[in-house]
Amino acid sequence: MKKDKTTSEQEWQQTLTPAEYYVLREKGTERPFTGEYNDFYEKGTYHCAGCGQKLFDSDTKFDSHCGWPSFDKAIEGSVIFTEDLSHGMKRVEVTCSNCNGHLGHIFPDGPAETTGMRYCMNSISLKFKREE
């Protein structure tokens, strides 16, 4: 099955785990310091757990001490930014440009020596592929 913006919610429920569905489709958040990729620094690429689209290169990952995997740059065209006013906060949501899966949020408190941005992502919304 091709997974993209045309995939129905019923199809997503059949292909994702309940935890993946909660984060990717219902815009949930995993608990801090619990995700598989929080303290993970191997060479490779991070892909959308929903559709497989490449999102981040491992050389853009950094330790922000926030409890979630953080990146300072996404692969061009791989993500969409949307204003998020939920939970009484003003934030910018980051979603996959291919399937609209919720990945996390972006904040302007990343490394000043690079982009200055922090893509704060949910581990469960990502799949890592090692560099060959």
C-alpha dihedral (31, 39, 22, 92), degrees to nearest 10: 90
Tell me if 21 sits within 8 A of 108, measured CB to CB.
no
Tell me if 78 sits within 8 A of 97, measured CB to CB.
yes
Residue type, 75: I
Say which of 48, 96, 99, 120 is annotated catalytic: 120
Question: Among this protein's residues, is 120 annotated catalytic?
Answer: yes
Nearest to 101 by CA among 45, 22, 11, 14: 22
Query: What is the set of active-site residues?
Result: 120
